[in-house]
Structure formats: C-alpha cells, structure tokens
Amino acid sequence: MSALRLSELGSDPESVLRLVRFFDDLDATGADAVLAAAQAVAGCPVHVRWDGSAPEVWLERDAPAHPLDAVLLDRVRHTLGDIGARVPPSFGDPALVEVVLSSRERAEDRARAIRLLGLDESREVRVLAVSAQSSPEALRVITSALASVSVRTADLGTATAVVCQGRTNTRALSDELDEAIVTAFPAPLPIGADRGPWVGLGAAGGLFAAPTSWAQALRALRFASSTGFGRRAVAYERLSALELLAELPPEATRGSHALARLNEIAATPAGLL
C-alpha cells in the first residue's frame, strides 16, 4: 500500500475517497497496527480509549486542524471496531495484563499492551490481588462489586490480578469489597466450607505505576483473614505500621514460642473459625 499523508490531501471529494480507501484496504490485525498507520497519515499521535463497546479516538496535534480530520477519526473508529469484532479476545488477554504489571518489560511494550487492553492511559489504575484458591463463585463476588468500572484480569499463579479503572477512593472500595465478601461468606464458616476470596488492594496511580500497585496488593493480601475479627479485603494504604510486619524474615519468627502457640491454635477447629 502506498504511503498517504493528510498534509498532501485537500478537502475535495477525491481526497476524501483516497482517505476512505486507505483504511478500507488497510491489512491490520491489531489496534496497534491501526494506530501506527493512522499516526503516519495524520503526522501526529493518535490516541484511542475504549470506554464501552465503541472506541473514542482523538488527535494530539499542535498544528491547525485539517479539513479531513473528522474523516480520519471516523475511519480509525470504524477500522478499530471491525478488528474488535473479529478478535475480541485480544482486549482481555491475560498475557497482556502480565506485561502491564511487569516492571521488567520495556516501556514501549507496556504501552502497547495498555492500548490493546483498551485501557485509558489518562486515568489512574488500581491493581487488586485476589487469593489464588478462590472458587469461581467467590470471584464473581469481586467482579460484581466492580461492575461499574473497567476491569482486566489474569491468573498469575500466586494470585489473580485484577486491573481496574474508575475507583480511586481506597477506603470506600475496600469497605465495599469487604462487606460484599462477608455477606456472601459470613463467619463463622463451617469446617471445609468455601471461605470466600481474600483481596489485597494496591494504591491507585498512573498506568505505568501498575507494577508498584500490584506489589502493594500482594503485600496487603498477606493481611487478609476470614475470621470474625479479620478483614477479607485489605488496602495497602490502610496498613500503616502493620505493613512493617511483612518485612520480618521467616527465620526471625520461627524461634518465637508465642507465635508457635498461635499457629497451633490456628490449626484447631476453633482457630479455623
């Protein structure tokens, strides 16, 4: 396909048809390829946000607007919509979530994963860590509580990662999740019953801070409990000095008779409650 530049086009019908044909003939299989082609045509960055089923597209340009800007944006939206209909799994691929949460990945690879997941780069993101042994029914309690926000999930072995946008009030979210879990799985639980999920909440921040939020969520998860006096959902920001307990090395606690006794009690039927 020959290169096309918006700066070389006018506002005449032939220019409009050339622009439409360019995107109709575009052989792209992913959102990143469509955006790369659109940016080459526009001569400036092109951004996309999925805030629902239809993508929102806009240009980041300092120069004056071009008469065909609206046509370009319409064609980009149409092309992205077609790709989304053909390959919808790409927007919820757990492998992409893992890239977003990994501090070892290159920034450009994480940016690409963010776009493919349909996340809004301009909004804060929070990562939740849900106990890996949670049943599907238990996980539905979590997703129901997050029904009003954008959510992407991935099972990362030690826990299920839940990346969400749209909830920035830490206290309100942790209290809402805790109440939902307690209501669905009230203590005391019968021996052998599904205890329900435990959840750790990382702090909200920019998308490129998602690895930090994920690490915080995993640390907060260690303080969750299904006892009548514990909390099922624990926010890292609310741990305060308790967070220091996570720094204690295991060898420093093994010799404590008091902790050994607590472990013995926890292993009894009464302790399981």
Write the pLDDT tens digit of every residue in 132-150: 776 777 778 887 888 767 7
CB 46 within 8 A of CB 57: yes
CB 185 within 8 A of CB 218: no
Return mean pLDDT, the chain. Answer: 81
Q: Are residues 194 and 80 in the same domain?
A: no
Give the structural domain span for 10: 6-86
In a domain, 98, yes or no: no
3-state helix, strand, coil split of the chain in percent (to 5) is 50, 15, 35
In angstroms, the CA 41 to CA 21 distance is: 13
Which residues 6+ apart lie within 8 Å of 124 measured at CB? Answer: 165, 168, 204, 205, 206
Which residues 6+ apart lie within 8 Å of 196 measured at CB? Answer: 134, 138, 141, 181, 184, 185, 226, 232
In a domain, 67, yes or no: yes
Q: Are residues 73 and 129 in the same domain?
A: no
Structural domain tally of the chain?
A: 2
> At what angle are helices 31-42 and 13-24 packed, to 10 degrees?
150
Which residues 6+ apart lie within 8 Å of 61 measured at CB? Answer: 42, 43, 44, 45
Supply the pLDDT for residue 16: 92
pLDDT of residue 10 exceeding 80, the answer is: yes
Q: Are residues 142 and 241 in the same domain?
A: yes
Write the pLDDT tens digit of every residue in 55-65: 778 898 888 89
Supply the pLDDT for residue 127: 94
In a domain, 182, yes or no: yes
126-131 and 159-165: which strand pairing? antiparallel
Q: Are residues 75 and 151 in the same domain?
A: no
pLDDT of residue 205 exceeding 80, the answer is: yes
Hey, what's the torsion of the CAs at 100, 220, 131, 231, to 10 degrees? -140
Supply the pLDDT for residue 138: 76
Q: Are residues 132 and 52 in the same domain?
A: no
